[in-house]
Amino acid sequence: MNQTYINELKDNIGKEVTLKGWLYNSRSSGKLVFMQVRDGSGTVQCVVFKGNNEEVFESAKSLGQESSIIVTGTVKEDSRSPIGVELDVTGLEVLQNVHDYPITPKEHGTEFLMDNRHLWIRSKKQHAVLKIRHTVIKAVRDFFDDNGFTLADTPIFTPAACEGTTTLFEVDYFGDDKAYLTQSGQLYNEATAMSLGKTYAFGPTFRAEKSKTRRHLTEFWMVEPEVAYATYEDMMDLGEKMITHIVSRVLNDRRLELDTLERDITKLEAVASPFPRLHYDDAVKMLQEGHAKGELENNFEWGGDFGSPDETYLSSQFGKPIWVHHFPAAIKGFYFEVDKDRPECALGIDLLAPEGYGEIIGGGERAASLEYLEKQLKHHGLPQETFEWYLDLRRYGSVPHAGFGMGIERCTAWMCGTEHVRETIPFPRMLYRLRP
Ligand code: 4AD
Ligand code: MG
C-alpha cells in the first residue's frame, strides 16, 4: 500500500509521501491553503501553494471539514509544528467532499456531542483520550505479563452476584435460567489462581448503577489480578507497582496527547512510591478533623462508606494516590477476610487517586474458611447452591489469597485529567445513555 502515516513523517524528511486521511480543518490566505490533515496516527499541516498547481489549489480550497482525501507532498522540517514537520502538497485526490459535518469547531453542548459520539471521537481531544486509554491498557497487560501472571478471562454471563444484588443486570437465559451480566470476574479469578498461582482477567463488567456521577458507567472495563498465598498487604505492593508503571508509560509514550489535553503533567510526575497507607480508623479521624476545621461539610462516622467529597479530601492531604485498608466488614462484600483481632474490620483495600478522581482500585484478601463463607452467604441473602463451586475452593486446598480490580476508565480519566469517565471509553453506557 502506498501510504505513509503521519507519525512516520519525521523519518521521511525531504521525501515525497502519500497520506490517506481526512481534512480536520483548513484556512486559506491569498495564494495558500493550510490544511490540517488527520489519519488516525496524528495530525499534520499540509500547505498548498497556488503557484505549484492551480487545480490542486482550487480543489483544496473547496474542501469542507471531514472530507476524505489522499494527499501527496514533500515532507519538510518545521520547528513550529508539534510533530516537527509539515507537508508541501503536490497532489490531492478527493474521495468525498463534505460540507455539512455536524460537529464544527464552535462549542457544542455535551448532550449533542454524546448523541454524535460516533463522530465526536474524531476530534483531537477525544482522539488523544482514546490513545491514552490504549496505552493504559497496554501498560497494564505488559505489567502483568512481565511479572509472571497468566491471563485467564472470566465469563460475562454469570449465575450469581459478586458485588451485591442491587446493581445486577438480569438477562433471560433460554427461559429456564436467569443469568446476570458479570459485575466482576473475581470469584472465577479465585478459581484460576488456584490453578495458575498468579492470574488476571481483563474484560467488560456491568453495574446497574442508578447513579449519575462523573465516575459511574453501567458498562466498564476492569483488570483484575488474583494471587494465591498473597495477603492484602501484598496487593497494596502490587497495585502500587502497577500504577507507577502505568503513569510512567503514559508520560513516556503519550506526551503529545497529554499536551493536546493540556494535562498538568507535574501532577502525574508526582506519582511515586511509596503511597501512604491509611487504616480506615485513621481515615475517619482525618475526615472528622476536616469537618471540625470547616473543610468538609458532612461529619463522618465510623462505619460509613466514603462519599466522593470524603475521598477527594483524603487524597488531597497527600497529593498522591493513597491506600485505605481495614474497612468495616458490614459495608463490604461477602467474600472478604476479616482481621483476626478485629473481626468488625475487613481486609479490604481501596486506592484513592489524587485530584478528585476517587477510588480507582478496590480489592483485598479473601476469606479462606468454608464455615465463615457459608455464614456470610446466608447473612447476605445469597443462595448457597449457586456458590457451591466457589465453596469448593475452600474445601480442596484452601489457601490465603488476595486480589483487586482497577477500572480502566477511572484510571484513564485520571491520566487525561478529563472531568467525566464518559469520554474515556469509545461508546459509554450510562443510566440515561444507550446510544449510539
Ligand atoms: O471496588 P469494586 O466494586 O471491586 C470489585 O468489583 C472487586 N470484586 C474487584 C476484585 O477484587 N477483583 O470495583 C473495582 C474498581 C473500582 O475501584 C473502580 O475503579 C471500578 O472498578 N468501578 C467502576 N468504574 C466505572 N463505573 C462504575 N460504575 C464502577 N464501579 C467500579
Ligand atoms: Mg469499591
Residue 177 has a pLDDT of 81
Q: Is 316 exposed, middle or buried (0-12, 13-18, 19+ CB in 10 A)?
A: middle
Task: Determine if ligand 1 sits within 6 Å of the CB of residue 207.
Answer: yes
How many A from CA of 350 to the centre of ligand 2?
7
Pick the atom of ligand 1 nearest to 217's CA. 26
Tell me where in the chain the CATH 2.40.50.140 domain(s) lie: 6-96
Q: Which segments of 100-159 are extended strands (E)?
A: 150-151, 157-158
Task: Determine if ligand 1 sits within 6 Å of the CB of residue 359.
Answer: yes
The answer on pLDDT for 1 being more than 70 is no
The answer on pLDDT for 176 being more than 80 is no
Grid cell at residue 132: 491514552
Task: Determine if ligand 1 sits within 6 Å of the CB of residue 324.
Answer: no
Amino acid letter, 144: F
Pick the atom of ligand 1 nearest to 226's CA. 12
CATH of domain 6-96: 2.40.50.140
Angle (CA) 298-301-306 rounded to 5° is 70
Q: What b-and-e string marks burial along 10-43, b requiring 16 or more CB atoms within 10 Å of the CB?
A: eeeeeeebebbbbbbebeeeeeebebbbbbebbb
CATH of domain 118-424: 3.30.930.10
Query: Torsion-angle region of residue 326: left (phi > 0), alpha (psi -120 to 50) or beta?
Result: left
User: Could you tell me the strand order of the sheet in which 348-353 lies?
Assistant: 150-151, 198-206, 219-228, 401-407, 358-366, 348-353, 322-325, 277-279
Instruction: Identify whether the C-beta of residue 350 lies closer than 8 Å to the C-beta of residue 323.
Output: yes
Instruction: Identify whether the C-beta of residue 232 lies closer than 8 Å to the C-beta of residue 209.
Output: no
- Mean pLDDT (whole number) for 354-376: 97
Range 260-265, long-range pairs (CB < 8 A, 24+ positions): 260/124, 260/125, 260/128, 261/125, 261/128, 261/129, 261/132, 261/416, 261/417, 261/418, 262/417, 263/415, 263/416, 263/417, 264/417
How many A from CA of 359 to the centre of ligand 1?
8
Pick the atom of ligand 1 nearest to 351's CA. 17
Grid cell at residue 131: 490513545
Task: Determine if ligand 1 sits within 6 Å of the CB of residue 348.
Answer: no
The answer on pLDDT for 431 being more than 80 is yes
Pick the atom of ligand 1 nearest to 218's CA. 28
Rounded CA-CA distance 28/125 in Å is 24
The answer on pLDDT for 319 being more than 90 is no
Task: Determine if ligand 1 sits within 6 Å of the CB of residue 346.
Answer: no
Ligand 1: which residue has its CA nearest to atom 28?
A: 216
Task: Determine if ligand 1 sits within 6 Å of the CB of residue 332.
Answer: no
Among all bound ligands, the one having the nearest atom to the CA of 406 is 1
Cα dist. 82→7, 43, 139, 259, 366 in Å? 11, 9, 25, 10, 49
Q: Which of 213, 215, 222, 430 most suits a substitution to test ligand 1, by most atoms within 8 Å of the C-beta?
A: 222
- Mean pLDDT (whole number) for 424-431: 97
Instruction: Identify whether the C-beta of residue 36 lies closer than 8 Å to the C-beta of residue 65.
Output: no
pLDDT for 100-141, tens place per residue? 999 987 889 999 999 999 999 999 999 999 999 999 999 999
Instruction: Identify whether the C-beta of residue 215 lies closer than 8 Å to the C-beta of residue 308.
Output: yes
Task: Determine if ligand 1 sits within 6 Å of the CB of residue 402.
Answer: no
Rounded CA-CA distance 313/290 in Å is 8
How many A from CA of 115 to the centre of ligand 2?
30
How many A from CA of 360 to the centre of ligand 2?
8
Task: Determine if ligand 1 sits within 6 Å of the CB of residue 363.
Answer: yes
pLDDT for 382-396, tens place per residue? 999 999 999 999 999
Among all bound ligands, the one having the nearest atom to the CA of 411 is 1
181 — pLDDT class (breaks 50, 70, 90): very high
DSSP state of 330: G
pLDDT for 211-232, tens place per residue? 888 999 999 999 999 999 999 9
- The residues with which 181 forms a beta bridge, in sequence order, are 157
> Helix, strand or coil for residue 94?
strand
Ligand 1: which residue has its CA nearest to atom 23?
A: 407
Among all bound ligands, the one having the nearest atom to the CA of 333 is 1
Q: Is 141 exposed, middle or buried (0-12, 13-18, 19+ CB in 10 A)?
A: middle
pLDDT for 258-311, tens place per residue? 999 999 999 999 999 999 999 999 999 999 999 999 999 999 999 999 999 999
Angle (CA) 266-294-290 rounded to 5° is 60
Amino acid letter, 38: R
Task: Determine if ligand 1 sits within 6 Å of the CB of residue 20.
Answer: no
Tell me where in the chain the CATH 3.30.930.10 domain(s) lie: 118-424
**Longest distance between any two alpha carbons in the chain, whole Å:** 85
